[in-house]
Amino acid sequence: MFLYKKALAVVILFVSVVGLYAFEQTLSPQNDITVGDKVVLNIKAEGLTVDSLDKEKLAEANFGDFELLNVQPTQDGSVDLVLSVYKAGKTELLSVEIPYTYVDQKKFVKTNALPIEVKSVLDPKNPPTDILDIKGIIKFHHGLLWYLPFLIALIILSLAIYFIYRYIKKKNRKPTPEEIIQSIPPKEYALKQLDELQTLSLIEKGHVKEYYDRLSDIIRFYISRTYSVDGMEKTTTEFYSMLKNKIAPEHNRELKNYLINCDFVKFAKLIPSSEEIEKDFETAKGFIEKL
């Protein structure tokens, strides 16, 4: 009777142990594995699913030269461990414990170690010719002072190239209309403007207002350039005040009266006679000659 109970206990223990560790493992591919390839270790065990896995502890497992990339379910309910290896040569996929929970109980399966030979991506029979050994450190046998003249020469050359470029660019640049006007002496430019005004024949065409508008602008522009004032947009009274300390009082009053007369023609539609128009032109020319 005692022997019977003892044998029964051994059988029950054996069945329980077998049930605890009963699992299947499959590795694919098993051969022709190259560095960087992905291999899949499939595990089948009672109650083992992706959801039942203790993923934190599994992440800490040591697979040897293999790295665990992902864990994914299969169609038959088993678990695939996706691994990769980055070392060529003979190696071993180490045995690891895979913990999981089944029916509120902590369980695990322990995989079997698998010897594997990983091939290199390089063909040993035809080694590449474009991969060369790292060259040694280049040593400079001269001190900094030895290179200083070369550095100074390089700086001087760079500056010379820069200034030559600026000179050529400036020489080839076309001046703006404002720059052209500024390059002509004020008196010469004003007299030229008066000559061009006569060639327009504005009086003969009946454009008296435009004629006096241009005539007063020529005088204002000449005075503004000569005495460095901004009088083009000023009223006649403001223009007169700006010139008080710049030209003789009698000339300033004469200029003011002349510009007021031009304003009457421009704004009050005063129509001067032919003699008055000719006299106003000569007066403008006289201002340019004496101021």
pLDDT for the residue 180: 83
d(CA 263, CA 268): 7
- pTM value? 0.43
Rounded CA separation 239/228 (Å): 12
Scan for tokens 């000449």, then name that residue: 222
* Per-residue pLDDT band at 139 (split at 50, 70, 90): low
Q: How far apart are CA 106 and CA 108, in angstroms?
A: 7
In this predicted model, what pLDDT tens digit does every residue of 8-41 receive, in sequence order?
Answer: 444 344 334 434 447 888 888 878 888 888 888 8
Query: Average pLDDT, whole number, for the chain?
Result: 83
pLDDT for residue 20: 46
Decide: 4 and 52 in contact? Cβ < 8 Å: no
Least confident interval from 5-9, 198-202, 246-250, 270-274? 5-9
Instruction: For residue 276, give the nearest of 284, 239, 251, 193 by alpha carbon.
Output: 284
* Per-residue pLDDT band at 87 (split at 50, 70, 90): confident
Using the Cα atoms of residue 125, residue 128, residue 129 and residue 135 in order, give the sign of their dihedral: negative
Q: If you compute the radius of gyration of the chain from its CA atoms, what whole number of angstroms results?
A: 52
Q: What is the pLDDT of residue 136?
A: 65
Q: Indicate the helix (H) or strand (E) that contains 25.
A: strand 23-28
Give the pLDDT of residue 140: 60
User: What own/partner pairs with CB < 8 Å and gap ≥ 24 does 80-84 have?
Assistant: 80/40, 80/41, 80/42, 80/43, 81/40, 81/41, 81/42, 81/43, 82/38, 82/39, 82/40, 83/38, 83/39, 83/40, 83/41, 84/36, 84/37, 84/38, 84/39
Measured in whole angstroms, how far is the alpha carbon of residue 20 from the centre of its chain?
A: 62
The tally of CA atoms less than 13 A away on the side-chain side of residue 40 is: 10
Q: How high is the pLDDT of residue 47?
A: 84
CB 50 within 8 A of CB 71: yes
Q: How far is CA 217 from CA 74, 94, 113, 192, in A?
A: 94, 99, 103, 13
For 196-248, the pLDDT digits (tens) are 999 999 999 999 999 999 999 999 999 999 998 988 889 999 999 999 888 99
Read off the pLDDT of each residue in 126-131 and give the average, rounded to a whole number: 57
As to burial, measured by CB atoms within 10 angstroms (0-12 exposed, 13-18 middle, 19+ buried), residue 249 is: exposed
Q: What is the pLDDT of residue 130?
A: 53
Query: Stretch 146-153: mean pLDDT, rounded?
Result: 87
- Within 8 A by CB and 6+ apart from 119, the residues are 32, 33, 34, 35, 88
The reported pLDDT for the residue numbered 178 is 83
Would you list the DSSP string of 28-96?
Answer: E--SSEETT-EEEEEEEETT--TTTB-HHHHHT---BTEEEEEEEE-TTS-EEEEEEE---EEEEE---
- Residue-level pLDDT at 153: 92
Lowest-pLDDT range of 32-46, 62-76, 112-126, 272-286? 112-126
CATH number of 2-119: 2.60.40
- Per-residue pLDDT, averaged over 187-194, amounts to 91
Greater pLDDT, 176 or 3: 176
Q: Assess whether the previous peptide bond of 249 is cis (omega < 30° from 0).
A: no
The pLDDT-based confidence of 58 (bands split at 50, 70, 90) is confident
Q: What is the pLDDT of residue 4?
A: 45
Rounded Cα distance between 87 and 69, Å, is 16
Q: How far is residue 111's CA from residue 99's CA, in Å, rounded to a whole number? A: 11
